[in-house]
Amino acid sequence: MLSSAIVSNKFINPDEIPALVELLPFANKVLNTNARTWNELSEALLPPNIKTVKRLGVMYEQQMLLCRDAKAYFPACVMSASMLEALLLLLCMLNAPTVATTRRYKERAGKNPDDFDGTICRLGLDDFADISTELNWIPASLISDEWRVSMPEAYREIIEMRHQNMSKANRDVHINSFNKNPAYSLMLLLNMMRNKMHPGRWIRQKNELQNEEAFSAWAQVAVVAAAHIRDCLLQQHQAALVEYCKQRAFSRLKIT
């Protein structure tokens, strides 16, 4: 669960906790902070933008869970996409030098590759999906064999229903992508479902809401997929956050 794992000691070895508790007063003295826990210390080391994105990710997840529990699956889908977008943006901020070398970042940055903050905050979920794939943040093995078998044909169904003007060749490309990288394809599916919150898209794409129950069922599938991807990204986040805080701490020591 993002709201606990993103700000907890869940991934710390329990045997190390007593030693960390003893080291906290020394860390406060050296870094000129007044943290009561290591979580508070890491927060104190983070710049405002990263703190904001972390808090947004937690809020989106909490809203997603409220909607899911109320069986309002489409709103849950919208919130789950926002949650993943926040978590991926956070990972990009924590790994800025590496992200700046990716093909998608360079394409979107254009003539301003050095304006990392300005560029990264203009990206959407589809951009982050490409970056995460290039950096292998979400391995293909994340998705079970059962999903690998059932999702391609199910995805064909939704494409034929929602994108009637798409050529057969393009449909096959999208469907075959499930076999190569199902997690990436599920993120695209989630984004496609999330974008259905814009009524104008329905008209432009000549879609009709023929079956509300079927649409809600697809939204439920997208929410389940988002939970799988979230759990994988959390492991990436924890490692990146620890390394980032180390670098920030060393920078403070050099300044002082």
The pLDDT tens digits of the residues spanning 84-117 come to: 999 999 999 999 999 999 999 999 999 999 999 9
Tokens of 19: 């030693």
pLDDT of residue 221: 84
Which is it for the CA torsion 62, 178, 121, 89, positive or negative?
positive
Whether pLDDT at 223 is above 50: yes
Q: Are 190 and 77 in contact (CB under 8 A)?
A: yes
Give 93 or 155, the one with higher predicted confidence.
93
Q: Side chain identity at 11, as an amino acid letter?
A: F
Q: How confident is the model at residue 150 (pLDDT cuts 50, 70, 90)?
A: low
pLDDT of residue 5: 46
Q: Point out the least confidently predicted range of 31-40, 97-106, 203-212, 241-250.
A: 31-40
pLDDT of residue 88: 96
Residue spans per domain, the chain: 2-255
Q: Among residues 74, 22, 44, 225, which one has the least CA distance to residue 143?
A: 225
